[in-house]
Amino acid sequence: MPPAHPFDTSYLSDGGDDDKLKEECGVFGVVGVADAASFVALGMHALQHRGQEAGGIVTYDAEAGFQSARRFGYVRDSFTSQKVMETLPGPIGIGHVRYSTAGSKGQTAIRDVQPFFGEFAMGGAAIAHNGNITNANALRRELIERGSIFQSSSDSECIIHLMARSLQRNIPERMEDALRRVEGAFSVVAMTRTKLIGVRDPLGVRPLVLGKIGDGWALSSETCALDIIGAEFVREIKPGEMVVITEKGVLSHFPFRPQPSKFCIFEHVYFSRPDSILGGRSVYETREAIGRELAKEAPVDADLVCPVPDSGTPAAIGYSLQSGIPYAMGIIRNQYMGRTFIEPTESIRNMGVRLKLNVNRALVRGKRIILVDDSVVRGTTSRKIKEMILDAGAAEVHFRIASPPTAWPCFYGVDTPDRDKLLAATMSEDEMKDHLGVDSLKFISLDGLYRAVGESEGRNKSCPQYCDACFSGEYPVTPSDKVEDGFQMKPAAE
């Protein structure tokens, strides 16, 4: 066994943030610009928070044809090389950043990295997918029995094979045909030689937005990636909508049966960058509103409100403003913590959180501290942070969580532990408080979260306005593959 590296945090799911859910990917595409690959790389960099394991770009140029590059690691380490970017000429391109699922973490092959490419009778097409296909196992079995040969372990490859078997006349129609067979969540960015295509599933679970840049167009998972390339945000792609963009402009239609929107509410809580716009609302302002609502629902007498950086910061500011308790940076994040992949010793392992977070001792000593975080998943990091705060001399530690208890796994494009690994699935709020060893623990209510995202009457129990399955256990699309594997759905009467 190699010697332990003192800065190794690879034993945690994301270099120290082992108590967070992770988006599995982000998508981006442009058409009608010179040197499309450079714009795509910038967009992917802005979406890096949605996937850090690997990234890929596909472009098309009339002389060079379709070209692709797929790399492990951060965008800044792979797609800032002039040598790499010179291999990706053309005025149209799409890109994808990937964060693998829990089952395959650390075992991803380069062939699993998107975008995927297929050559059809009417020409080539590349596709990048954010979300998760919940009937992928059944589709894969059917396709293999009919002669399809899969190159990756990704559920997204099913779309390419379904397109190949379609009898429709052109690639957008074949994509429609394929996506009608798909269950689950999908925001897709695809390209042909001349067309940039964007599609959202009928429920609109994952985000996708349209932007204008000069005479060209852009599609992105979030508006923050439009900002980085200087594109103007035009609008969100609607649930169930397909847009086909050419040099002539944007053609829109709705190929799926209309359904009530079920956008992922956790995008507001954590996944999306705070400088993005979702549903016409600033993500930052929504998170501040969540903090205000939390302060109304769960007040506590204390001296300081401190965020768990960085995701708890806007909610902590909102909690402070509503409660009148001063806001302070009681925990400081080291922004320069890298990652290595060498097995650490037990003594180094226990320092994992301290490599990323350090307590501002002079500030917290003798104080009653309210710690605001966006979520509690396993509870491992929360316990370590509490211990650090107490070791620094805090008199009391009160946790306030800017989301309801995460008690159910997500099957729509998020890396979630098995249900028995989720603290809220096995413990009550009081039991979690005792397990974490804090003076008090309170989560925002589901109705409170809905009010904070703009639903003044709270959650509509008969037809929830968002997908909130990770909190409620009410899945808008039955995860058929998981049920086949033994997953127990929540009883209807519960």
Q: Residue 57's beta-bridge partner residues?
A: 69, 95
264 has catalytic annotation: no
**Is residue 78 within 8 Å of residue 129, measured between CB atoms?**
no
Environment class of 409 (CB within 10 Å of its CB; exposed 0-12, middle 13-18, buried 19+): buried
CA-based nearest residue to 412, from 201, 241, 127, 150:
201
**Is residue 90 within 8 Å of residue 138, measured between CB atoms?**
no
25, 306, 410, 467: which one is catalytic?
25
CA-based nearest residue to 102, from 410, 388, 382:
410
Cis? peptide before 430, omega within 30° of 0: no
**Is residue 230 within 8 Å of residue 65, measured between CB atoms?**
no
CA dist 338 and 16 (Å) reads 10
Instruction: Tell me the pairing of strands 232-236 and 184-191.
Output: unpaired
Read off the tokens for 39.
């714009």
**Is residue 433 within 8 Å of residue 383, measured between CB atoms?**
no
Q: Residue 58's beta-bridge partner residues?
A: 68, 94
Dihedral angle over CA of 158, 224, 98, 261, nearest 10: -40
Instruction: Let me know how long the chain is.
Output: 494
Q: Return the active site residues.
A: 25
